[in-house]
Amino acid sequence: MSEAKSINELNADLFHAEEVDRFSDPKEARKKAMDYLARREYGRDELVNKLTNAGYNHDIAAVEVDRLTDDGLQSDERFAGSFVQSRINQGKGPVRIRQELKERGLRASIAESALKEVDQDWFELARDVRVRKFGAGLPGDFSEKARQMRFLQYRGFDSEQIQVAVQAHGDD
């Protein structure tokens, strides 16, 4: 005589089978990717990784993200543009932005294009970031100047932008 399963065990079996199928279903992967894209832009690699980390099959996720790209719903260029603008709003410099885009799997050419499109005066941004953090007065001694320079370097400004930001300029 076989042992009968309880209703809870039967339900658990049904839901478990559904979960396994859902993560290997291309339609479900596409739908989840579209849910992510509805909230914000994502780079291709970042979106594939997000789907994979959520439990979707990597190969299926990659194919579906490529389909979304072909359909114009996902764009590395659009993502890079919005990412660059958000980092500028945070007071980040071009060196740091380039590095963060690289970490997210974007090609260098896309990052450079996005940085050029924003038409940002990086020298002025470096000055503004320094003033917001340390005040309008210029650093009084070498150690203070070095501290402010390290801060701006951490923020992602290059050495020329940093030099201009910590020195007096004629239009003040």
State what percent of residues in the chain have pLDDT above 90.
81
Domain range for 100 is 76-117
The reply to whether 17 falls in a domain is yes
Compare 137 and 169 and report the one with higher pLDDT.
137
The reply to whether 4 falls in a domain is no
Same domain for 59 and 25, yes or no, is: yes
Which tokens belong to 161?
């932008």
**Single pTM value for the model:** 0.81
Q: Which of 114, 127, 117, 131 is nearest to 157 (CA)?
A: 127
Give me the CATH number covering residue 88. 1.10.10
Same domain for 19 and 57, yes or no, is: yes
Burial code (b: 16+ CB inside 10 Å, e: under 16) for 66-97 equals: eebeeeeebbbeebbbebbeebbeebbbbbbb
Same domain for 40 and 82, yes or no, is: no
- Is the Cβ–Cβ distance between 127 and 167 less than 8 Å? no
Q: Measured between alpha carbons, how far is 124 from 129 in angstroms, rounded to an integer?
A: 9
The reply to whether 84 falls in a domain is yes
pLDDT digits (tens, 9 = 90+) for 124-167: 999 999 999 999 999 989 999 999 999 999 999 999 999 999 99
Residue 88, amino acid? I
Same domain for 65 and 84, yes or no, is: no
* pLDDT tier, 171 (very low <50, low <70, confident <90, very high otherwise): very low
Residue whose entry in the numeric block shows the structure tokens 């994502």 = 42
Count structural domains, the chain.
3
* pLDDT tier, 99 (very low <50, low <70, confident <90, very high otherwise): very high
Residue-level pLDDT at 22: 82
Same domain for 25 and 55, yes or no, is: yes
Kindly compute the dihedral angle of the four CA atoms of residues 158, 164, 165, 168, in this order, to the nearest 10 degrees.
170
Same domain for 109 and 63, yes or no, is: no
CA-CA-CA-CA torsion sign (75, 77, 80, 85): negative
Same domain for 54 and 98, yes or no, is: no
